[in-house]
Amino acid sequence: MSNENGNRGVIVSGGTLKANEMAVGDNPTINKISQIGGESVPTMQELRNELNLLISEMEKYQIGSDKIAAAKTVKGELEKDSPNMLVVKPVLHSIIDSIKMIGTVAGTALSVKKILDLLVF
């Protein structure tokens, strides 16, 4: 650990350091942010927020009760500590594919799809 100029951290000299999560210093916390090509990757919370918006729009425009029920099932799964993405991804893609041609919700549906495709698991 380095304590140069009051700054504490990890110095890697040669070789490679790979870590999914790392915390150093006094009272460290971890904020997991992934990046691909310099752009931030969406978080699970962003997916939840967009899904909530999509459900609201689907209800507002009365877009298939079966699709709304499926979206709410996915919402419930996403609220778990460890959501089963093997359930979430195909169901969401199916919902989005079936409604993306409906202009009133197409933007939100495609936003959900983009976030879903970019999430790192």
**For the chain, what is the domain count?**
1
pLDDT bucket at 112, cuts 50 / 70 / 90? confident
* Dist CA 107 CA 76 (whole Å): 22
Q: What is the extent of the structural domain holding 108?
A: 44-118
| Cα–Cα distance, 47 to 55 (Å, whole number) | 12
What type of residue sits at position 120?
V
The answer to whether residue 7 sits within a structural domain is no
For 43-93, the three-class secondary structure string (H helix, E strand, C coil) is CHHHHHHHHHHHHHHHHHCCCCHHHHHHHHHHHHHHCCCCCCHHHHHHHHH
Taking the whole predicted model, whether its pTM rises above 0.95 is answered as no
d(CA 7, CA 23): 14
82 found inside a domain: yes
**Is 8 inside any structural domain?**
no
Q: Is residue 80 part of a domain?
A: yes
Q: What is the pLDDT of residues 2-26, one digit of tens each?
A: 455 555 566 667 666 666 556 666 6
